[in-house]
Structure 1
Amino acid sequence: MPAWAATLTWKAAVFITVMCCALAALLGVLVHTQVTRQTVGQAREKALARLADVTAAYETGEALPPGSGIDPPGLPDALRTLATSGDRGTLVADHFGRPAMWAAAPADGHALATQVDYSQSARTIDSLDGAIIGSSLLAGGATLLVGAFAVTRVTRRLHQTARVARRISAGDLDARVRDPRTADPARPQDEVATVAGALDTMASTLQRKLQTEQRFTADVAHELRTPLTGLSAAAELLPPGRPSELVRDRVRTMRALTEDLLEISRLDARTEAVDLDVYELVPLVERVARMSGTPTTVRTGPPEHTARVRVETDRRRLERVLGNLIANAHRHGRPPVVLTVDGPVVTVRDHGPGFPDYLLDDGPQRFRTEGSGRGHGLGLTIAAGQAAVIGAGLDFRNAPDGGAVARVTLPEHPEPDDGEPDTRTGPKSGPRQEE
């Protein structure tokens, strides 16, 4: 069935139409039956009264009126048989192409019969049937229009509630339905207003909890910076040796974690300002690979897709995204780690066990861990947040032959129409080196 057939509007329209047709049919049958019974009854009484006059005339030997006689032509066989068997009866049948009410009685082993015109009564019944059908169609159409209008008002509110729910799930916690029926508690509320009010309440509660969490994360990170700065300075004063190296290493790790927490809090608060410019993508990717200090291979796609590919982005944030993806590939995957540039798409792949299922289903989550030490910290979460800030697409998948694949899709900057170089092109890196 088509998708529109599953909508509430369609189902309601079908239900209303079926109920209207059923009700109209029931009423039409009842009216038709009752009127037909009355009309036939009146015609039968008239035919029997005429038969009584014909019988009296036959018994006295008088001339029979027109349309009457012994076994007259056109007399239905069923009525003739009934009369010859000694009973009286009536029957509606055609007489020379016109409906007639026949009445017959026994007379010396024959059928004494008469008939009265039934065409007017038949036309009355036909006109009544036409009026019933016409009024039923009119009433059904009017009911369908009114019902569709009423249902559309309900479904429009449901669609509005669904749109707000999708905006909330996408991260817009300021979205609200604000159904006018929920503004006044004294006003009667229907089920749609109840759902809309519950969604608004849920969104407000969720927003407050997330804001509390964001403030807590930011406050903790800010409070940690001061003692960590002092601890870092004190660690530099320690005498050389293995214990001093361990202390300095742990201090650097804690400082990096604090900076990550601050970055997460800024991303959550949506206060990041983007500094967009146009850059050649291949030199920028090669520079990130070199700065990572890891044995990362850089490959480029076909020259017609990759040569002088320009993207409009924030270089610092893109470097942060790619750097985190490279670090995650080396930390949780296995070499070789390969960066592939194909047009405005950069792919980071390792040859390890691949991303866990929860990450593929729900995206990066902070400090999510599994058994056997598998999981991830803040690196992928920051990469996803920074990619969203610069308008890049970031998706995660596993390669069919093994390994995790992270793909960054950047907005490509079109080449100038006149063929002149773009003066907004950012700094270029040196010759490409593969590590």
Structure 2
Amino acid sequence: MSRRRARRPRAPAWTATLTWKAALFIGVMCCALAALLGTLVHVSVTGQTVRDAREKALSRLTDVTRLYEAGEPLPPFAGLDPEGLPEPLRRLAGRGERGTMVADRGGRSTMWAAGPADGHALAVRLDHSLGAGAIDALDRSIVGSSILAIAATLAVGLVAVTRVTRRLHATAQVARRITAGDLDARVDDPRTKDPRRPEDEVAAVAGALDTMASSLQRKLQSEQRFTADVAHELRTPLTGLSAAAELLPEGRPAELVRDRVRAMRGLTEDLLEISRLDARNETVDLAVHDLGPLVERAVRASGTETEVRIVRDAAVETDRRRLERVLGNLVANAHRHGRPPVVVTVDGPTVAVRDHGPGYPAYLLASGPQRFRTESGGKGHGLGLTIAVGQAEVIGAELAFGGAAEGGGAEARIRLPEYVRFGDELPEG
């Protein structure tokens, strides 16, 4: 039996944000810095406190040794082999050496100092609880101040990072608007307008995006003007050429001339339509239509052998003339580049146009139809699907290109805004 590999749990989306990463970085660095500084302060203060207590204990041991050698009584804090003397100090004194050690005596921190005296250990003790308490208080102060410093640094850092990420989000939003076709969108970062103000990296990105958008807008507008100008300039000679072709005597040459004139006239009209769509100043005549009869009428007008299947009819709010234009172009493209049978299916507010040919080319599925580009050896100029996409966008429909799920072939699916008659849903009586 094969085992299915367990999937690793996916981290929440917010963990990938720059704000979270900056907060984590700032927090980790602040904790590391606070731990380092706290350790250094603790070690320094503890060492100094212990050194002071050791020097004081050794000084008392020297005084007590003089008293012991003079035969005078010892003070209460000193004695020979006193009870509670740490064993390491007892062995050290037995070897004839002096030393100090901090140990616990009756629950209190005590500094011991011991030295040799006639085969015994002469020792003194010094209460070290105040020093130990001061070190504990210092440790608590270090922890508390570190927490406050980390919180303050994290808050200030998050404010600074949030200002940067907010500007990045604004730049990304403008980039998305440009991608959607709004070429007038600009970031307009104030740091890029005033030369006296230094630019940071975010301002440099925003300025580069604005410059790119302006350059792209100029190029697209130039192309749109060129397309419109060419189409307009061609209309007048084509009209004269069409009239002259009608005067030619009947015969095969005249038919060829008229056919080419009709093709050039169609191409010119397509170019004019694309230029109007590029200008984005089209007006829409919306009305409610039953989709099934509208599709049947559009297919009949195409003059092709196309099967229409109505799985479920629906009422849609659309521009009838523009929708018929979209459907006509999709059906014509299916017959021109695909193979029969061509089937148009209505399923609610969705219309699918399918053929049984080789399918759409890879470039079209990846980036959509492109004007004046078709597969090698194919007929046409790549304008039909371009117009279909533009008209679908104008009427608020979604047009997608893909492959048929079964049997192969190409399939274009257009989804329209469905119109819901609320009165029909109300119960009778």
Correspondence for 1:415: 421
Shift of 1:159: 0.6
Name the amino acid aligned to 1:171. Answer: G
Shift of 1:372: 4.2
Correspondence for 1:432: none
Q: Secondary structure at the match of 2:228?
A: helix
Separation (CA, whole Å) in 2 of partners of 1:88 and 1:256: 113
Correspondence for 1:287: 297
Shift of 1:260: 0.3
Tell me the TM-score normalized by structure 1.
Answer: 0.93
Shift of 1:419: 7.0
Q: CA RMSD in A?
A: 1.4
Among 119, 122, 147, the residue aligned to 2:157: 147
Correspondence for 1:130: 140
Separation (CA, whole Å) in 2 of partners of 1:155 and 1:326: 48
Shift of 1:62: 1.8
Among 333, 353, 363, the residue aligned to 1:328: 333
Q: 1:270 to 1:289 in 2, by over 3 A?
A: same
Correspondence for 1:424: none
Among 40, 51, 59, the residue aligned to 1:30: 40
Correspondence for 1:188: 198
**TM superposition outliers: structure 1 runs of 4+ over 4 Å:** none
Say which is worse superposed, 238-247 or 404-413, in terms of deviation: 238-247
Separation (CA, whole Å) in 2 of partners of 1:183 and 1:135: 43
Q: Secondary structure at the match of 2:248?
A: coil
Correspondence for 2:355: 350
CA contact (8 A) 2:309 2:344 kept: yes
Q: Secondary structure at the match of 2:110?
A: strand
Q: Which has the higher contact order (CA 8 A, sep 6+)?
A: 1
Among 262, 268, 284, the residue aligned to 1:274: 284
Name the amino acid aligned to 1:49. Answer: S
Among 405, 414, 417, the residue aligned to 2:411: 405
Separation (CA, whole Å) in 2 of partners of 1:69 and 1:330: 116
Q: 1:158 to 1:372 in 2, by over 3 A?
A: same
- Identity among equivalent positions (%) equals 73
CA contact (8 A) 2:336 2:379 kept: no
Q: Secondary structure at the match of 1:171?
A: coil
Q: Secondary structure at the match of 2:73?
A: coil
Q: 1:372 to 1:224 in 2, by over 3 A?
A: closer
Separation (CA, whole Å) in 1 of partners of 2:224 and 2:237: 21
Name the amino acid aligned to 1:210. Answer: L
Say which is worse superposed, 69-78 or 377-386, in terms of deviation: 69-78
Among 249, 262, 280, the residue aligned to 2:272: 262
Correspondence for 1:200: 210
Q: Secondary structure at the match of 1:129?
A: helix
Tell me the TM-score normalized by structure 2.
Answer: 0.94
Shift of 1:63: 1.7
Shift of 1:182: 1.1
- Superposed CA deviations along residues 60-114 of structure 1, whole A, max 9, x for unmatched, are 2222111321111111111111111111000000011100000000122221111
CA contact (8 A) 2:337 2:378 kept: no
Q: Residues 151-166 of structure 1 correspond to what in structure 2 (within 5 A)?
A: 151-166=161-176
Separation (CA, whole Å) in 1 of partners of 2:243 and 2:119: 137
Instruction: Confirm whether residue 341 of structure 1 aligns to residue 351 of structure 2.
Output: no
Instruction: Confirm whether residue 40 of structure 1 aligns to residue 50 of structure 2.
Output: yes
CA contact (8 A) 2:191 2:203 kept: yes
Name the amino acid aligned to 1:266. Answer: R
Name the amino acid aligned to 1:280. Answer: D
Correspondence for 2:189: 179
Correspondence for 1:430: none
Instruction: Confirm whether residue 386 of structure 1 aligns to residue 391 of structure 2.
Output: yes
Name the amino acid aligned to 1:377. Answer: G
Instruction: Confirm whether residue 371 of structure 1 aligns to residue 376 of structure 2.
Output: yes
Shift of 1:373: 3.4
Shift of 1:418: 5.5
Q: Secondary structure at the match of 2:134?
A: helix
Separation (CA, whole Å) in 2 of partners of 1:370 and 1:321: 21
Q: Secondary structure at the match of 2:423?
A: coil
Instruction: Confirm whether residue 227 of structure 1 aligns to residue 244 of structure 2.
Output: no
Instruction: Confirm whether residue 396 of structure 1 aligns to residue 401 of structure 2.
Output: yes
Q: Secondary structure at the match of 2:339?
A: coil
Q: Secondary structure at the match of 1:371?
A: coil
- Superposed CA deviations along residues 16-48 of structure 1, whole A, max 9, x for unmatched, are 111111111111111111111111111011111
Separation (CA, whole Å) in 2 of partners of 1:160 and 1:43: 63
Separation (CA, whole Å) in 1 of partners of 2:339 and 2:21: 55
> Unaligned 5+ residue runs, structure 2?
1-10
Instruction: Confirm whether residue 81 of structure 1 aligns to residue 91 of structure 2.
Output: yes
CA contact (8 A) 2:101 2:111 kept: yes
Q: Residues 100-115 of structure 1 correspond to what in structure 2 (within 5 A)?
A: 100-115=110-125
- Superposed CA deviations along residues 91-144 of structure 1, whole A, max 9, x for unmatched, are 000011100000000122221111000000000111111111111111111011
Name the amino acid aligned to 1:227. Answer: P
Shift of 1:276: 0.3
Name the amino acid aligned to 2:417. Answer: P
Instruction: Confirm whether residue 318 of structure 1 aligns to residue 346 of structure 2.
Output: no
Q: Secondary structure at the match of 1:417?
A: helix
Instruction: Confirm whether residue 65 of structure 1 aligns to residue 75 of structure 2.
Output: yes
Name the amino acid aligned to 2:28. Answer: V
